[in-house]
Amino acid sequence: MKPSTAGALLTGELQLAGRLDARFFALLSAIEATGSISRAAATAGLSYKGAWLMLESANNLSQAPLLQTATGGSGGGGTRLTASAQALLAAWRRLQTAHASFLREQEQQLAADPALHGLMRRLSMKTSARNQFVGTVTALSLGPVSAEVTITLASGDEITATMTTGAAKRLKLKKGKEALALIKASAIVLVTDFAGWKLSTRNQLEGTVSRIEPGAVSSLVVLTLPGGATLTASVTHEGVEALGLKVGMAATAVFKAYAVMVAAQA
């Protein structure tokens, strides 16, 4: 069985001889348990043909057969692992345990470097939100129903988010706590000239267009903020043309507080 890596910062795939991996040993284990290659293939998530190809390849390179097949008879038919296969499977299980222990030890050593450990912890979060910023909660207002939180980035830029008070309490938000601000690229509006008008939107980050990536329907426009962080907005081709967006020009990313998702460690 493959060890669980949920919540782990360090992961690694164990292979023997560059080709015998967890799938192969899951297949051997399933054969040991079921006595049937067809049932074992289904258990291991492999096709019957794929299972046989994997077994035949390993068997041809082994000095002794890995499988013993019986057909009918008083004991019934089926497939069993030979002593060589059982020894190979036992070696894999020992190595897998040692490998998992090694990764845990390395992660414990990593924890001794708070900066690197914090970076990897933040990178471990998987989300489709294009824009992800780390900062510190510098303001928090809890109301009967809704809450407002301000996250200040290392550059000094501030991002304000609104959420339910229940969500703020569940995240255990408080001043000084590290938090992530996530904003989808589609939630961002770019402004190149306010023409004397002011917007009610709380979040307005000024930057410089550093990259434009045309797509089939829209373009991804990347702004570089003064502190060096980047922010990506999804803009229609018509919008890019109307604004006359070009690399090097100034623009302001505008997005509403309710478009900001906040993440925090428990």
> What's residue 15's pLDDT?
83
CATH number at residue 215: 2.40.50.100
- What pLDDT score does 116 carry? 63
- What is the pLDDT, as a whole number, of residue 74? 47
Q: How far is 201 from 128, CA to CA, in rounded Å? A: 24
> Do 236 and 144 lie in a common domain?
yes
Contact 191, 254 (CB under 8 A): yes
- Residues 50, 57: Cα–Cα separation, whole Å: 11
Helix axes 48-61, 37-44, angle to 10 degrees: 110
Residues 140, 243 within the same domain = yes
Task: Report pLDDT for 125.
Answer: 53
Indicate whether 134 and 109 sit together in one domain: no
In a domain, 110, yes or no: yes
Q: Is the pLDDT of residue 146 over 50?
A: yes
**Residue-wise pLDDT tens digits, 183-241:** 999 999 999 999 999 999 999 999 999 999 999 889 999 999 988 889 999 999 999 99
* Distance of alpha carbon 32 from alpha carbon 127, whole angstroms: 39
pLDDT of residue 155: 86
- For residues 46 and 156, membership in a common domain is answered with no
Provide the pLDDT for residue 10. 65
Residue 35 shares a structural domain with residue 137:
no
| pLDDT at res. 1 | 47
pLDDT at residue number 39:
93
How many Å apart are CA 165 and CA 150, to the nearest integer? 14
* Domain CATH number, residue 48: 1.10.10.10
Q: CB-based contacts of 135: which residues, under 8 Å, 6+ apart?
A: 151, 152, 153, 154, 159, 178, 179, 180, 181
Residue 217 lies in a domain: yes
| Domain extent for 201 | 125-263
Tell which wins on pLDDT, 79 or 16.
79
Q: Which two tokens stand for residue 60?
A: 């041809």
The verdict on 155 and 246 lying in the same domain is yes
109 and 69 together in one domain: yes
Q: Are 59 and 65 in contact (CB under 8 A)?
A: yes
In the predicted model, is pLDDT for residue 5 greater than 70? no
Domain termination site, one of 84, 115, 146: 115
Q: Is residue 9 part of a domain?
A: no
> What are the pLDDT digits (tens) for 61-101?
777 888 888 765 444 458 999 999 999 999 999 998 898 88
Question: Residue 66: is it exposed, middle or buried by C-beta count within 10 angstroms (0-12/13-18/19+)?
Answer: buried
Instruction: Give the chain's domain count.
Output: 2
Domain end marker among 70, 86, 115: 115
Mark whether 105 and 34 lie in a shared domain.
yes
Interval 155-186: pLDDT, tens: 889 999 999 999 999 999 999 998 989 999 99
Model confidence at 110: pLDDT above 80:
no
Q: Across all residues in the chain, what is the average pLDDT?
A: 86
Q: Taking 70 as the threshold, does the pLDDT of residue 2 lie above it?
A: no
Fill in the amino acid letter for 38: S
Q: Are 88 and 66 in contact (CB under 8 A)?
A: yes
Residue with tokens 């426009």, as numbered in its chain? 221
Domain end call among 83, 115, 147: 115
